[in-house]
Every structure is written in C-alpha cells, then in structure tokens.
A and B are shown apart, each in its own frame.
Chain A
C-alpha cells in the first residue's frame, strides 16, 4: 500500500481520497510492495488459470464433442460421474499413487539432499549425475522405460528370476510398481535439490554444539537436521501431492491406463473422457473434481502442519 512504488505516469490516480493517509500501514518510511507489483503475475494467473477454470466449470454442465456448440444438460454429467465405477476406482488409485510416491521419494531425497549439502570429495560430480533424470522430458523418460521393460527384448527378458515371464506392465500390481518406480527415478532429484538447499541453511553452530554435547551423526540427523527441514518437507510433500494427482504422461505412454483400467488414475480418466471419448462435459467435471481435491489436500496439509503460521525453524538463534 504505497504511493512511492506506483508508476510515475499516473500521479492523478494516486491522489484524491487516499491523500493524507500514511504512506504505509506501519507508518514506516520503508514501503511494502504495492499491488502493481503483483499485477503481471495476477493477469497471467487470471488469463491462464482462472479463466480456463471458469470455462471448465461451465463446460461441465454441457454436452460437447469438440464440434459445433456445447449444449446445456444441467447436472447430467455430474450424476453420471458419481455412478461411474471407473471414476471411483481412479480416485483410490490416485490416492495410492500419492501415498506411495511420498513414501518412496521423501526418505530417499532427504538422505540424498542432506548428503549433497556437505562438502565431501566427488559430491559435486555425483550430485550432477543424480540430477540428470530431471532434465529429461516425461515423455522421453516414459518411452525409455517402456523400451527397457519390453518383456522379450528388455531387462525382464534377461532377469527372469526377478520378473518371471516379463509381464510387468500386464498386471495391475506390476504396472503400479513400474509407475511408482519411474516417478521416483524422475522426481527424486528435484526434491533432493529442495533438501540440499534447506540443509545448507542449517547453521553449523547447531552441529558444533551437538557434537560438544556428545551427539553422534545419527543423533544429529534426527535431532537437528530433520526438525530444521520441517518446512521444506511440507513444501516437498505438497508438491508431491499435486504432482501425484496430475501424473499423466507416464501413465499414457507406459501403461495407457491398463491393464484394463488398472492404472486409470483420475487425471488419465479425465483425458480419456475428453479426448478419446470426446465427451468434454464429463472430462471437465472430472477436472473440477481434481481441482477441488488438490486444493483441499494442500489446504489440509498446510493447516495440520502449522505451515500457515510461517514459523521459522531458526527462532532463538
């Protein structure tokens, strides 16, 4: 709320009733960023997030195949959605994907991140190598793993003691395991990066004090590192939840939602309804369900963890 940071070209707009008020609420002479700062981002958000969201909301009450004009059908799509067994199953599958993703990726990326924050020999080189999967596109990764997992000409053909007849993608359990594994391979580097940055921020004095008190490496990790990483863990978990809900390319290319509907998670179900069955109304309804669920989950995580209070983990230092 400031006049000092507003563009100079429009002094007239800054005058009028606002005149005479203190420059900022605290009365401090240092101004806080005004709304103008948020304008570019807000316009982008409105254009590319809010407007499509409203359009999707409107479409969910219509019947539209992409040809001609949408026809208003009231609540028909929504009623059908609640009776669709694939929809219900897809929600459970999405939840499973999120939980398994968090369970597999979080411990690994915390350990790697904390390790990468140190200054051991070869650390920079190894970190760079671990980082590579993040640089590849999801489509490339999926095609790569699809080829590697070919039952006759890929890894399973050579390792029958582990893969049996190689029908890895042909069973629901196998297909889910592959998707979780590929997700882990792809996204662990990203979360490692978050934890590496966070671990670097932990003041060394804490470790020095702990070692004087006789705490070993393991004790230091659990009593200092983990509590200090709390906010980063929350950030990372929220990203995993949202990422898990919107996982799509790997499912499309690796399993095509199969076997049967065995890996048809909600985001894939949405695509299938909209772009394969050309029922954009139902697809839009599923999209809205996804928006509501991901907002609710993120909100709950933020509330339950106390993240919204923005309490610093460095208080008292």
Chain B
C-alpha cells in the first residue's frame, strides 16, 4: 500500500467518522433513556418573575425524589432557543409558552404530550382554571398546556405625578382625550408616551388595540383564518390613519426607535417622569416594582385603553397574553413527577406568590387571595377587567406561528418610523 492510498483512506475514514457523529447527533438518543436521571428540566422565559417559579420548584423538590431544574433563557431569544432544542435529546421536559400559535408547530410535529390522561387522573388540572383561558392551549380537542403565571392584559400605565403636574385629572377615557393629553404633555416638553420601539413588540400593542377598537375582534380572527382581504378593509385603513395621526402628533417623541423596554429604557422614562404614559402588559407593575418599589406602589397609575368613538369593537375588549402555559414534551422520562409538579399550578402557595409580584393567575381560588396582593387594588382592577372583557385577543405575534413574528414586527416598526405607509403595512400583513 502506498502512502497516498493511506492518506486517502485516513481522510475517508475521518469523513465517515465525522458524518457518523453528525448522524448520531441528529437522530440518536431522542428517547427517554438518554435524559438526566432524577431530573426534570423546565425551559423558562427569563425575567424578574423567575423568583416565584423557583420558589414553587423548591417546594416541589423538598418532597420529591425527582428534582425539577429551572433553565432560564433570556426572554428576547426564548422562542428561537426553544424551537432549536425541542426536537433534540436536550429538549426540556416542561416548557413555558403562550399557548395558541406558539405551540401549534410542536403539536403538528408530534412532540408534545397530550395532558388528557393527567386530567382524567386529576380533574382539577382542568377544572381549577377559567375555561376561556384553558382553551387557549387546547389544539384539535386535546389539552396541551396547564396555565401558569397569570393573565397579562395590556393596559395604559401612567405616571400620576406627571399627569397631576400637567393638570390632567384622569387618564384618558376616549381617543380624543388621549390626543388632548398628548398635546398638553408635549407642550410641557415631556414625551407624552414612552415606547420601547427598538423591541418592536411594544409598538405592536398600539396597533392591536387600535385595530380592536376600530374594527372589532373579528377582523384579526378572519385574517388569522386566512382571509387576508380584511387588511384592505375600510376599518383597517381607518385604524392605520388614526395611528398615523397619533404618531404625527408627537405622541411617542422622535427617538422611540432607539429605546427598548427589555433593557429598562422605556420603563425608566415613565418612572423618571420624562414620559406620561406607557402602553404595556400587566408585567409593567413587577418591572417597576423590582427597580423602584415606592414608585410602583404610589405613583404608577393604570387605565383601560381609551374608547374609540364610532368603533365596532367593545370598549372593554382586551389584548395581551391571555395566559402563560407549561407544556410537556412527550419524551419526558418522569411523567408522574411532571404531573405532580403541574398540580402545584393551582395550589394556594402558587396563587399567593404570583399575586404577590403583581401577576394574576386564572384559577378558581385566585379571588380569595387578591387582598394579599402586593397592591390589592391593582390586582382587583385587573381581575375585573379580565372577567368582564367580552373578548381577550392574544397578541398577534403569539397568535400566529413564530415564523410570522419577524414580518409583523418589521412592519409595525417601519410603519411607526414612516419607512412604509398604509399600503406597505397592508401588503406586509397580507404576505403572512
């Protein structure tokens, strides 16, 4: 055998080995046996609320032989990381999600464990939660998620001190009042509304609410079902026109595209009095509380999104995250331990801890703990909003499967910064 033959053979051998390893990585070991012994891993959206998740886990681990481990993933990249690992041997046993479009692809790929057997063994896993909330994670008549954390409606938060100084007695109840308040604050040299435009999803909240108020919840539902002509409708154009008026009135200042919510930029604008309002999910409260408890308790105000005269949508409609859920991977090694852990999601301790940081679980026993909330008034206000809302629209970027997110986010950001006009926005939404 000559030298070159040997070289070629080594190379071929190396390549074969490499390929073999890659193949093994792709297909092997998806079964339960390769998962860590006596551990259940939870993939969790990383944020200030994780302290409560950890407390519940500590409670569970104190008595269980199988230990739960919380793997926190920074929020902005949560969905990317999740989809990358979920069909691999390192997939989590349990993972955080928003129900709806956020788990649809996983169900279609047959990766999730239907929880109906768990529910048969312990009916409370379903009956303890508000039915409308539980339904968000039911796909093809099978339950795939147990509600956790809480419901997170989007509300219009304000700095009550700034409003008082500007002579604004009450938060705006109508769109016209909002435009007036914007003018008053702007004339005082204050950014009327803080907006973390660089994150893009805070911008989307404005679009969602104006569309809901002007056109009603039906427009988006039709679009989601595939009827893209609704984006060209008269109501759609009216909503975009009203948004354009608000932006042109200087409601968000001029530099919102450089501001983020996720790095604390826009909440700081509100807390420091440099802005009067911020439209944000109910987690604004826990965000402000973790940086400045006194501000959250005394100065932070909140109200419903203003009513729009002549709009088709109900003035009590909400948008936001209907709830968060824990879903279970079908390859979990310890289904019984997972089931027992999920039972904690309606426990008194869970509800009490969540309420304590301003979250609002949607369980039957929530109402009796509202008095123990960090801010009982805030908790009750929110609870009633959710209870009385005729429709609660899941955020558009969660209602669509995740691959639509970039298109939606880019479209709203470009519309707000004036890079595209109404036709450009309509075209982008129709491409979904």
Which A residues have a C-beta under 8 Å from some C-beta of B? 1, 13-14, 16-18, 35, 39, 42-43, 46-47, 50-51, 55, 65-68, 143, 146-147, 149-153, 156, 165-171, 255-256, 258-261, 272, 275-279
B24 interfacial by beta-carbon distance below 8 Å: no
* CB-nearest residue of chain B to A3: B3
Residue from the list A55, A65, A146 in contact with B105, Cβ < 8 A: A65
User: Interface readout for B244-260 with A: 1 if CB under 8 Å, 0 if not?
Assistant: 00000000011111111
Contact A169 B7 (CB under 8 A): no
Which residues of the other chain, B, contact A272 by a CB distance below 8 angstroms? 406
Binds A, one of B280-288, B308-316, B411-419: B411-419
Does B83 contact A259, Cβ atoms closer than 8 Å? no
**B6, B86, B111: residue with the most chain A Cβ atoms closer than 10 Å:** B6
| Minimum-distance CB pairs A-B, first 3 | A170-B257, A167-B255, A67-B109
29 A-B pairs with CB atoms under 8 Å apart are: A39-B10, A43-B14, A46-B11, A47-B14, A47-B18, A47-B21, A51-B15, A55-B22, A66-B86, A66-B87, A68-B87, A149-B258, A150-B263, A151-B258, A151-B259, A152-B255, A152-B269, A168-B258, A170-B197, A170-B258, A258-B257, A259-B413, A259-B419, A260-B420, A275-B84, A277-B405, A277-B406, A278-B83, A278-B402
Considering the chains assembled together, what is the distance between the CA atoms of A261 and B197 in angstroms? 14
Residues of A with C-beta under 8 A to B200: 256, 258
**In the complex, which residues of chain A have a beta carbon less than 8 angstroms from the beta carbon of B164?**
none
Given the interface pairs A16-B1, A43-B14, A150-B258, the reply to whether A258 lies near B198 with Cβ below 8 Å is yes
Indicate which residue in A46, A153, A261 contacts B410 across the interface (CB closer than 8 Å).
A261
Alpha-carbon distance A306/B2, docked complex (angstroms)? 36
Instruction: Decide if A276 touches B405 in the complex (CB within 8 Å).
Output: yes
Nearest CB in chain A: distance from B202 CB, A: 13
Instruction: Name the residue in B21, B108, B406 with the highest tally of chain A Cβ atoms < 10 Å from its Cβ.
Output: B406
Q: Which residues on the B side are within 8 Å of A165 (C-beta)?
A: 253-255
Given contacts A46-B14, A65-B105, A147-B263, contact A166 B255 (CB under 8 A): yes
Chain A residues contacting B19 (CB-CB under 8 Å) are: 51
> Restricting to B148-184, which residues have a CB under 8 Å from any CB of A?
none
Rounded to whole Å, the gap between the CB of A149 and the closest CB of chain B is: 7
Tell me the complex Cα distance, A151–B21, Å.
49
Interface contact tally, CB-CB below 8 A:
129
Question: Which residue of the partner chain, among A13, A46, A170, contacts B417 with CB atoms under 8 Å?
Answer: A170
A152-B274, A276-B80 as given contacts; A166 in contact with B258, CB under 8 Å: yes
| A residues less than 8 Å from B80 (CB atoms) | 275-276
A165–B191 CA distance with the chains assembled, in angstroms: 12
CA distance A146 to B86 in the complex (A): 31
- CB proximity of B26 to chain A, nearest CB, Å: 9
Residue of B nearest to A275 (CB): B80
Closest to A66 in B: B83
Tell me the complex Cα distance, A1–B272, Å. Answer: 73
Contact yes or no, A65 B83, CB < 8 A: yes
With a CB–CB cut-off of 8 A, which chain A residues contact B18?
A: 46-47, 50-51
B84 near A150 with CB under 8 A, answer no
B 180-206 to A, binary, CB cutoff 8 A, 1 in contact else 0: 000000000000000001101000000
Closest Cβ of chain B: how far from A51's Cβ, in Å? Answer: 5
For residue B57, CB closer than 8 A to chain A, the reply is no
Report which of A13, A50, A169 forms a contact with B1, defined as CB distance below 8 A: A13
Nearest chain B residue, comparing its CB with the CB of A17:
B2
Once bound together, how far apart are the Cα atoms of A1 and B109, in whole Å?
53
Q: How far is the CB of A167 from chain B (nearest CB, A)?
A: 4
Q: Is the CB of B265 within 8 A of A153?
A: yes
Question: Closest Cβ of chain B: how far from A279's Cβ, in Å?
Answer: 7
Which chain B residues numbered 327 to 356 have a C-beta less than 8 Å away from chain A?
Answer: none
B266-294, CB under 8 A of A: which get 1 and which 0?
A: 00110010100000000000000000000
